[in-house]
Structure 1
Amino acid sequence: MSAIPSTMFAIEITQPGGPEVLQPCRRAVPEPGPGEVLIKVAAAGINRPDAMQRRGLYPPPPGASDIPGLEVAGQVVAVGGGVKHPTVGENVCALVTGGGYAEYCVAAAPLCLPIPKGFSWAEAAALPEALFTVWANLFEQGGLKAGERVLIHGGSGGIGSTAIQLAREFGAEVFVTAGSVQKCIFCEQLGARAIDYGQQDFVEAIREYTGGQGVDLILDMVGGPYLQRNLECLAPGGRLALIAVQGGPKTEINLLPILLKRLTLAGSTLRPRSLAEKAALASALKSQVWPLLKAGKIKPVIHGAFPLADASETHHLLESGRHIGKLVLENS
């Protein structure tokens, strides 16, 4: 294994703003502390929170790197004190609190997971953020069970496509919204019944498709504009899991459906959670989801992998909404 250099290529946020504020830089290679490992990054996933951080709306938690990037795949090249697993030389993917858009990144050892056999670096890098988010919100907080109906908004993205596959494999009936005929076809190929929200009112569609019964759980990343309509879609005892507010954080709603249908509204974000909480999620994923990955029953959908130096252009693509599946950055 080659020596670890003192500096590395990275992408930094020069000031809050559009994709153009993502610029190449040289940074010191970080050193792993106790309980941490240093990963030579082969690929890093791109996520909506990266764009929020770039715009100054999602600051990194205390102690985290200011370099964007919340998930990586690569080889462990150094370990901090007390780390027994993973070991130097092991290939892993990892959920991180920042620093992914770089040649090297520090990760907490408990949040490193083995790369399933046959997965490319890009596919491995696309696993952590989506899987941690979907498992935490659909299954642990949302309590999704076999035989239930779930509505997933934004079914063609990285989170949505992962949620479709996991919900399908655990026996749920899956409905999604998507923004074009092409995206709807893609979602249906994954096993969902798709609603083109540009052509059809999803509340009316859910009412029709479920015989007026509604769905048991909704995974929503739109927020304010969808809240009242989500309540209308939920069956008695239904749950709403809110994971983002891409459409805005504020709205005015009628509370009566919550009372009359005994609804539960819950929200969460992943990045600020404690290491212990994230480690528990990693353990659950390793036992419940990794066998499905190894068996080829679920797999991340990659729209494209792009050079790390092209992070700015790739963020333009992210915000255009033209992509289907995940966008990934690769180190050459």
Structure 2
Amino acid sequence: MQAIVFDDFGGPEVLVAREVPTPEVRPHDLLVRNASIGVNRADLLHRKGAYGRAYFGDADTMGLEIAGAVVAVGPLVRGFAVGDRVMGIVGGGAYAELSRIDHRMAMHVPEGLGLVAAGAVAEVFVTAHEALFHLANLQAGESVLIHAAAGGVGSAAVQLAKAAGARVFCTASGDKRDAVLGFGADVFIDYRSEDFAAVVAQATDSKGVDVVVDFIGAPYLERNVRSLAVGGRMVAVGLLGGAQGATLPMDAVLYRHLRIFGTVMKSRPPEVKQAMVQRFAERWLPALAAGAIRPVIDSTYPLADAALAHSRMESGVNVGKILLLPGAA
């Protein structure tokens, strides 16, 4: 089968298509013929060497999420059969024509959702659900500030927060305003020309928001914390702006009774990732089937053009998910 590999860490140009063996099916595995493969920032880090030559449970090649049709099942699989349309999260090995996935991290694709679109669901919506609800315990009537709201996880988080009845503040570049408002944002903040902390303070009569979901890291930490209301919760999901040089205002943490969480999926044990997938599926698959939430697709590329997909993500211009399509020319 064809897969995307690299011999040396580096830029997008190191990614090449090569014939590799088909994965062996283990007892809990589904073997899936991929129709759609999600591109994630973790893939860029993998390519650059951030994880070394690590093995993440399913393969040492890159790629975290897939959608496609089941072509084989292991003897301990329950609830899935050959021919089923599935989507889910893998521990590596998504960038290929065929991938194996533990059935406990797979979900049935709802009727009415195409397999290409389904490739844009699992990683971003599971991550967004984990941050907003499992960790931050966002409730109807509360307010949330979501940074990088035009990206994959950001666009999913905006939709989930809005569907849950929250007031949603979002940051992104001004050219993405219409898209982010279309996801359900109530207040859009252009991070290039506006101070999000000042906007939040003005819009909340200086009370602050109940939850912050942050992808930026150190440059935003102090303002994030000072934007939280009493009892507020912040979840750190990414470090797009770096991890060094942050100032944590301990007075705000102490006197406002704040909580700060961090979450990352790639390095978590399989049982933890399985629980994350199931929590999302139980709450949100009906909404996905009904069209109340939807995957946001920026662009698609043939599998062999993975380098171009990585270049687009690194440019920062995408709105929503970038997908790879095996078999596309």
Both structures adopt the same fold (TM-score exceeding 0.5): yes
Structure 1 CA distance for aligned equivalents of residues 261 and 95 of structure 2: 31
The aligned counterpart of 1:186 is 179
Structure 1 CA distance for aligned equivalents of residues 120 and 51 of structure 2: 20
The aligned counterpart of 2:60 is 66
The aligned counterpart of 1:235 is 229
Structure 2 CA distance for aligned equivalents of residues 21 and 211 of structure 1: 51
One-letter identity of the residue aligned with 2:168: V
Superposed CA RMSD in Å reads: 1.2
- After the TM superposition, which residues 155-166 of structure 1 pair with which residues of structure 2 at under 5 Å, given as runs? 155-166=149-160
Answer yes or no: is the 8 Å Cα contact 1:12–1:66 preserved in 2: no
- After the TM superposition, which residues 84-95 of structure 1 pair with which residues of structure 2 at under 5 Å, given as runs? 84-95=78-89
Answer yes or no: is the 8 Å Cα contact 2:58–2:101 preserved in 1: no
The aligned counterpart of 1:319 is 314
Structure 1 CA distance for aligned equivalents of residues 7 and 203 of structure 2: 48
Answer yes or no: is the 8 Å Cα contact 2:85–2:115 preserved in 1: no
Deviation string for 1:207-245 (max 9, x for gaps)?
111121111101111111111110111111111100111
Deviation string for 1:4-23 (max 9, x for gaps)?
xxxx1010122111111111
Moved more, 60-69 or 153-162: 60-69
Is there any run of 5+ residues in structure 2 with no aligned partner, and where?
none
Instruction: Determine which of 116, 120, 126 is the counterpart of 1:126.
Output: 120
The aligned counterpart of 1:143 is 137
Answer yes or no: is the 8 Å Cα contact 2:110–2:288 preserved in 1: yes
Answer yes or no: is the 8 Å Cα contact 2:113–2:289 preserved in 1: no
1:49 maps onto 2:42 in alignment: yes
Instruction: Determine which of 28, 46, 62 is the counterpart of 1:35.
Output: 28
Residue aligned with 2:272, SS? helix
Moved more, 200-209 or 58-67: 58-67
Deviation string for 1:46-75 (max 9, x for gaps)?
011110111111344454412111000011
Residue aligned with 1:76, SS? strand
Instruction: Determine which of 292, 295, 317 is the counterpart of 2:290.
Output: 295
Structure 1 residue 286 displacement after superposition: 2.2
- Give the total of aligned pairs: 324
One-letter identity of the residue aligned with 1:296: G
Instruction: Determine which of 198, 211, 214 is the counterpart of 1:220.
Output: 214
Answer yes or no: is the 8 Å Cα contact 1:185–1:194 preserved in 2: no
The aligned counterpart of 2:202 is 208
1:12 maps onto 2:2 in alignment: no
Answer yes or no: is the 8 Å Cα contact 1:178–1:196 preserved in 2: yes
Instruction: Determine which of 11, 14, 19 is the counterpart of 1:21.
Output: 14
The aligned counterpart of 1:275 is 270
Answer yes or no: is the 8 Å Cα contact 2:58–2:100 preserved in 1: no
Structure 2 CA distance for aligned equivalents of residues 173 and 122 of structure 1: 31
The aligned counterpart of 1:112 is 106
TM-score by structure 2 length?
Answer: 0.96
Shift in CA distance, 63/117, structure 1 to aligned 2, threshold 3 Å: closer
Structure 2 CA distance for aligned equivalents of residues 144 and 266 of structure 1: 13
Structure 1 CA distance for aligned equivalents of residues 189 and 287 of structure 2: 27
Answer yes or no: is the 8 Å Cα contact 1:43–1:330 preserved in 2: yes
Is there any run of 5+ residues in structure 1 with no aligned partner, and where?
1-7
Structure 1 residue 33 displacement after superposition: 0.7
Structure 1 CA distance for aligned equivalents of residues 321 and 139 of structure 2: 26
One-letter identity of the residue aligned with 1:208: Q
Moved more, 63-72 or 287-296: 63-72
Answer yes or no: is the 8 Å Cα contact 1:217–1:238 preserved in 2: yes
Shift in CA distance, 210/100, structure 1 to aligned 2, threshold 3 Å: same
Answer yes or no: is the 8 Å Cα contact 2:57–2:91 preserved in 1: no
One-letter identity of the residue aligned with 1:259: L
The aligned counterpart of 1:306 is 301
- After the TM superposition, which residues 93-104 of structure 1 pair with which residues of structure 2 at under 5 Å, given as runs? 93-104=87-98
Shift in CA distance, 225/9, structure 1 to aligned 2, threshold 3 Å: same
Structure 2 CA distance for aligned equivalents of residues 226 and 276 of structure 1: 32
Structure 1 CA distance for aligned equivalents of residues 209 and 245 of structure 2: 22
Residue aligned with 2:77, SS? coil
